[in-house]
Structure 1
């Protein structure tokens, strides 16, 4: 039998009854009638649209999307239906399909500003910021006074890294919290932190619960080393938004700077679980300070990379003419008095100019300090790209014909790793700035050595490994102050053994401090010399010492000092105690340079094996412990065995002749790595692991 034919007007009747029910708040009953209508009259467009709207209003986006899709398959085509379909697709994270739906809506109704705005949001979600900016231009041409479009236009410029243009646009907008927060972001990127803080302060005066401004101010205060104030901001932000992106990890990282370890294990467990579940709970650098787990660090890096710098459309890269020098570019924000520059300065000067043209792509501040002046003179070209967007920097590098680009900043604060996503060079390498994987294919190679990336952890790195004979370079022109200040001038006891650790406080975990307490208890009259950066931190640390059975005076706290004073002070200590899971890097080299032995316990991750690499390179493998008990035993033995100390000092007396401070050899090894990677590319071969032998040059 054929199904009964619906009576004329039956569909309209159902729609009228549904509308009446909605008018009286009987939503569930209205939904039932609309569901009946689409079942009985599937070729009628209006029931699908109304049911979709009802479901969307209740945030039932999957069911709403199916209704809108069904409506859009019917005739006549209607712009509102395609617009609503796009909204539902956007809510479901199907942004490419949403873009197509919005474009269909605009083909039917091109002068609709809200649709242009919605299209821009979907394109921005796909990180197609140029297209988003063009769509917002259309929206503003139709509705030039609409605040939502103007703020989104400025926000898109921020996301493109067009800082100066964004600041100009924001200056024309009314002083609202969202505007002030964006101004703070831009001013921070323009190296104007005091003005950025003032913007966040004003935004929070106007809207005290603005979580984004609290997060941003806390983050900036953390970078400015205002740790107590940073923690207050992050605590407030986390209370308002417990699942906020990166907030749980950032809050724990800030607390580490203050030695606030209450609930440490529970917080760390939640962070670990979040990373394992693929959530945005912690930035990779912060996690490296907390756990020694290369696979977990790789997962955190991948989450960060996918969010922060997914690969972009690639431009064609021309092949270089044969016989020309390799064009080598170093990318960094830290070509100034900074640990990376302290390591790399002499390498830049020693590069073989007959084989390499060496350029700097600098997006950091331009202070009038001696290190930046030295580097400006060392590079063949020093190109300031701070004012350019990520895509523009990549375009500039391609125009320069860069063959190999080495990123020295990695995932550290202020990094613009998004530049690498635009493929500025055919070979892209990661070195020094991040001690581990970037979790992304935008880097072809990670420069390492056999100690930092042993074979058993190789799978935790997404890049090909360029394995050097020794990992870390050093500048032999770093100062070695001949005059020692004397212990009394530094607040140290004149007699007794001085253990020290000048690593950042965030590297000192509760378990690390417990290990140090065991050492101090075993060596009477010894002290532990640490950095002092915050009164609250100092008070917390002394409370931890008392809880561990130590008199508070067994801890001596040192303020940060100018570089030469800090190097001279290192010579007053007897043994540098390294941290796990995040080792000393430049600080360990500084200690060894000043003749101060370093004791380390290597872990599994790259960041936990750097000091072991340095000690092997300087000829002191006996200062590499096997486990925690051995670390304590070696520290105690070193403090109590004058013969052992004399033997170590004899090795350190010849340190300038060791592999660690053989900067010409390290430079040749780096050059061999760059040339090998470049030649693989010219041969059409994909990046692959390789080793540079000690004799290459």
Structure 2
């Protein structure tokens, strides 16, 4: 959306500029100013389409009359389009200083700050632009964005609505409001605004992209793919559109198409590292890749982009006392009710404050009760979702963090560019991307001996530190009491898979069909938000029908609040873990609710998550090494009703007594690891 405001009309530039110099030297500023405005107008005449040449002309104009606000503003806009954001801000700020009453000066300065994610000075400029020109719709939207980044609040939607009231037929206003509601998880409102935009302007790719993103968030994978495909057809030369398209293909398990889309994105923008990080993420779902393959992908990324992003190692002034209280900094966009937070929550919220001072750098836009719990557990909290990478680096250095912990890896909302700047002497990645990043700026990776066995560690870029389990579990709030096995009441065994549908491969579906054929009259329950999409349910039904399983033996459930989600385990006798990408939080939740989990170890870290958890609680007998053993374990458990009753009565206590399921013990193991890292650094 190009909403910048420039100045205009026409005449030969150099001749007019020479007249400006002549009148200026003769002491006639009125005539000089008149000719100067005419000279500026020629820059935007019909013959001028070459932006570098236009910038050169503006530089010449500014040497003649450096106090011209119009020249600084337009030069700043052209510089911003050349991706020289810092210099563009300087030019636009000079225009604002030269003409404090200019709406264009304040608006363009605020807009540039908004697009560069620069916090300083943007709210005053945005407010001033609105005061000077209350009828300018885009100025209201920019002000809304500034306020929402400073203090996320749904009430800021009124500013976007004000823009819509001024220009109700401008699709851009509805796109901004739709994006705003999407950020706050208001799906229906967001969808209505985006469709309103598409009615007004069907060929605006941005509206289709946001509609695709919204559908992805709601688990509507087919709708997401179609919307993003539409955006790609409109703007096939935009690299970011192909990245979003790859995400929708991956969510539909169309991994070949996803990788092809990323390849196209990389060709369009060879300097952009994001396609490479997405390729790493998609590779986690591929069954034929081993630790070596994953390690090679990460090494390639580090050679091509990682080392270019990294800065030379800094000299740190942190006190080298090996036994002092340490400052631990956690960086994440997921301090909220989200599966990632369930993994790192036991460590982050249960530190011994006598020996560790906790800093949380949160990228959460709209918080919840989990956000408040993390905030209460931290000694220092900073909302950094609107802070630029450079600003966050500066803040971390000012806080003198000793150990900085990345909780995202390459997942959405990550701040890997911040870690590349190495603002802390020790940097760790943990709980987000358990297979590691391979980036040269990350020193350590938390995992465990099952998740990454000793013979595979040579393929991991970071030094692996073993915890009792690669993820921990705290007692889920509002978890129901454990119920007797549902088979006692139903008369049949109910298997269940609560993992994300994107993890459920065709090979696993064939395996599940074999299990159902072995266990007479058994049922299989799937639960995921994507199953609200009837096309996915029908695809699963057809797959099972080809294996002789009728539709009445399949149960599909969509998204529910977490308490209801946990209660669903009361209807499952045996949980079946997905492969090759296993479940982490879903495995822990099933065990907490008394449901045994059957899993299969693979040859990559994502295929060993459930195995790590079962090993940590002492239930290795539920870990299979191949498909045949997986089927055998599931059938054996299903046919032993007495064992199922016994397991249901003791399993929660087994989890609670393990180091993985006891938050205090788990946090203590993490703290021991931090202390060892720090002592090692102090000895260097």
1:530 aligns with: 526
1:210 aligns with: 204
1:659 aligns with: 659
| Mapping of residues 214-225 of structure 1, within 5 Å | 214-225=208-219
Select 2:297's aligned residue among 278, 282, 299.
299
Output the CA distance in 2 between the equivalents of 1:292 and 1:149: 55
Select 1:504's aligned residue among 500, 503, 519.
500
1:5 aligns with: none
- Residue 613 of structure 1 and its aligned partner are, at CA, apart by 0.5
- 1:134 paired with 2:87, answer no
2:362 aligns with: 362
Q: Are the counterparts in 2 of residues 409 and 432 from structure 1 also a CA contact under 8 Å?
A: yes
Q: Are the counterparts in 2 of residues 197 and 220 from structure 1 also a CA contact under 8 Å?
A: yes
Output the CA distance in 2 between the equivalents of 1:227 and 1:207: 24
* SS of residue matched to 2:496: strand
2:436 aligns with: 437
Output the CA distance in 2 between the equivalents of 1:578 and 1:309: 39
Q: Which moved more, 1:337-346 or 1:183-192?
A: 183-192
Q: Which moved more, 1:332-341 or 1:170-179?
A: 170-179
2:490 aligns with: 494
1:574 aligns with: 573
2:333 aligns with: 333
* CA spacing shift, 1:444–1:204, aligned 2, 3 Å: farther
| Mapping of residues 4-43 of structure 1, within 5 Å | none
* SS of residue matched to 2:330: strand
2:608 aligns with: 609
Output the CA distance in 2 between the equivalents of 1:337 and 1:485: 28
* SS of residue matched to 2:624: coil
| Mapping of residues 67-466 of structure 1, within 5 Å | 117=77, 119-124=79-84, 129-135=85-91, 137=93, 154=111, 157-160=114-117, 162=119, 170-171=138-139, 200-241=194-235, 244-245=238-239, 250-251=244-245, 253-254=247-248, 264=254, 267=257, 270=260, 280=275, 282=278, 284-291=280-287, 293=289, 294=291, 295-296=293-294, 299=297, 306=305, 310-311=309-310, 317-320=316-319, 322=321, 324-365=324-365, 367-369=367-369, 371-466=370-465
* SS of residue matched to 1:512: helix
Output the CA distance in 2 between the equivalents of 1:382 and 1:171: 31
* CA spacing shift, 1:659–1:503, aligned 2, 3 Å: same
- Residue 550 of structure 1 and its aligned partner are, at CA, apart by 1.3
1:547 aligns with: 546
* CA spacing shift, 1:344–1:107, aligned 2, 3 Å: same
Output the CA distance in 2 between the equivalents of 1:566 and 1:338: 13
Aligned length, in residue pairs? 581
Q: Are the counterparts in 2 of residues 215 and 233 from structure 1 also a CA contact under 8 Å?
A: yes
Q: Residue by residue, what CA displacement relative to the aligned partner does 1:136-182 show, whole Å, maximum 9, x if unpaired?
A: 54688899999999779736633436597598785358966667657
* CA spacing shift, 1:380–1:356, aligned 2, 3 Å: same
- Residue 616 of structure 1 and its aligned partner are, at CA, apart by 0.6
Q: Are the counterparts in 2 of residues 275 and 299 from structure 1 also a CA contact under 8 Å?
A: no
Output the CA distance in 2 between the equivalents of 1:139 and 1:185: 30
Q: Are the counterparts in 2 of residues 359 and 379 from structure 1 also a CA contact under 8 Å?
A: yes
TM-score, with structure 2 as normaliser: 0.71
- Residue 551 of structure 1 and its aligned partner are, at CA, apart by 0.4
- 1:588 paired with 2:603, answer no
Q: Tell me, which stretches of 5 or more residues in structure 1 are unaligned?
A: 1-78, 89-98, 685-697
Output the CA distance in 1 between the equivalents of 2:95 and 2:351: 52
Q: Which moved more, 1:585-594 or 1:329-338?
A: 329-338
RMSD: 4.5
* SS of residue matched to 1:529: strand
Q: Are the counterparts in 2 of residues 204 and 210 from structure 1 also a CA contact under 8 Å?
A: yes
Q: Residue by residue, what CA displacement relative to the aligned partner does 1:255-299 show, whole Å, maximum 9, x if unpaired?
A: 565xx67xx475367469779998938464444334553535863
Q: Residue by residue, what CA displacement relative to the aligned partner does 1:300-328 show, whole Å, maximum 9, x if unpaired?
A: 79769959994479876432374641011
Output the CA distance in 2 between the equivalents of 1:479 and 1:663: 17
Output the CA distance in 2 between the equivalents of 1:393 and 1:220: 28
Q: Tell me, which stretches of 5 or more residues in structure 2 are unaligned?
A: 1-42, 130-137, 142-162
Output the CA distance in 2 between the equivalents of 1:192 and 1:109: 53
Q: Residue by residue, what CA displacement relative to the aligned partner does 1:105-159 show, whole Å, maximum 9, x if unpaired?
A: 89988977676555444554xxxx4344325546888999999997797366334
Q: Are the counterparts in 2 of residues 360 and 381 from structure 1 also a CA contact under 8 Å?
A: yes
Output the CA distance in 1 between the equivalents of 2:539 and 2:633: 28
Q: Are the counterparts in 1 of residues 482 and 594 from structure 2 also a CA contact under 8 Å?
A: no
Output the CA distance in 1 between the equivalents of 2:532 and 2:397: 43
* CA spacing shift, 1:224–1:104, aligned 2, 3 Å: same
Q: Residue by residue, what CA displacement relative to the aligned partner does 1:592-611 show, whole Å, maximum 9, x if unpaired?
A: 11111111122233222111
Q: Are the counterparts in 2 of residues 283 and 300 from structure 1 also a CA contact under 8 Å?
A: no
Output the CA distance in 2 between the equivalents of 1:187 and 1:482: 37
- Residue 334 of structure 1 and its aligned partner are, at CA, apart by 2.6
Q: Are the counterparts in 2 of residues 256 and 508 from structure 1 also a CA contact under 8 Å?
A: no
* CA spacing shift, 1:205–1:275, aligned 2, 3 Å: closer
- Residue 583 of structure 1 and its aligned partner are, at CA, apart by 1.2
2:32 aligns with: none
Q: Residue by residue, what CA displacement relative to the aligned partner does 1:515-557 show, whole Å, maximum 9, x if unpaired?
A: 2122212222111111143233223322322233210011112
2:6 aligns with: none
- Residue 614 of structure 1 and its aligned partner are, at CA, apart by 0.4
Output the CA distance in 2 between the equivalents of 1:102 and 1:394: 37
- Residue 189 of structure 1 and its aligned partner are, at CA, apart by 5.5
- Residue 342 of structure 1 and its aligned partner are, at CA, apart by 3.0
Q: Which moved more, 1:386-395 or 1:423-432?
A: 386-395
1:513 aligns with: 509
2:561 aligns with: 562
Q: Which moved more, 1:168-177 or 1:203-212?
A: 168-177
* CA spacing shift, 1:132–1:586, aligned 2, 3 Å: farther
Q: Are the counterparts in 2 of residues 191 and 365 from structure 1 also a CA contact under 8 Å?
A: no
TM-score, with structure 1 as normaliser: 0.70
Q: Are the counterparts in 2 of residues 581 and 607 from structure 1 also a CA contact under 8 Å?
A: yes
* SS of residue matched to 2:495: strand
